[in-house]
Amino acid sequence: MRRTPEPYLWLLFSGGGVVAALVLPVLVLLFGVLMPLGILDWPAPEHLAALLDSVLVRLALVVVVVLCLFHAAHRIRFTSEELLDLARFDLPIALLCYGGAIAGTIVAVRLMF
C-alpha cells in the first residue's frame, strides 16, 4: 500500500479555509477599510514595532499566511483539474501549486524572522 501526502494537504486546505474565513476578513477590515477611511486611528509605528517584537505574534502571522497559501494552492489545483478538465496534468499542476505555496512560506518565514 502506497502512502500519499493527500490527507496532509487536505488538512492544510481545511485549516487555511478556517483562517481565510475567520481571521483574514478581520485583518482586511481593520487595515484595508477602517483605518484608511479614518474610522479607526492608525497605530503608532512604535506600537506596531513593539507588537512585532513578540515571537508569538510573528509566528501567528506566518501561520495565517502559510495556511492561506496552501488553501489557495489546493483550491487552484482541484479547480483547474475539474473545471478546466486538466486532470491529465495532475503532477505538474500539483507541483506548481504546492511549490508556489512552499515558496511563499519560505518568503513569509524569511520576512518575519
Q: What is the pLDDT of residue 1?
A: 83
Helix (H, G, I), strand (E, B) or coil at 42: coil
Does domain 7-112 fall into CATH 1.20.1300.10? yes
Over residues 29-58, the pLDDT tens digits come to 999 999 999 999 999 999 999 999 999 999
Residue 5, classed as helix, strand or coil, is: coil
Burial of 5 (0-12, 13-18, 19+ CB in 10 A): exposed
Amino acid identity of residue 70, one-letter, is F
pLDDT tens digits, residue range 9-18?
Answer: 999 999 999 9
Mean pLDDT of all residues belonging to the chain:
94
One-letter amino acid of 31: F
Measured CA to CA, the distance from residue 91 to residue 2 in angstroms comes to: 16
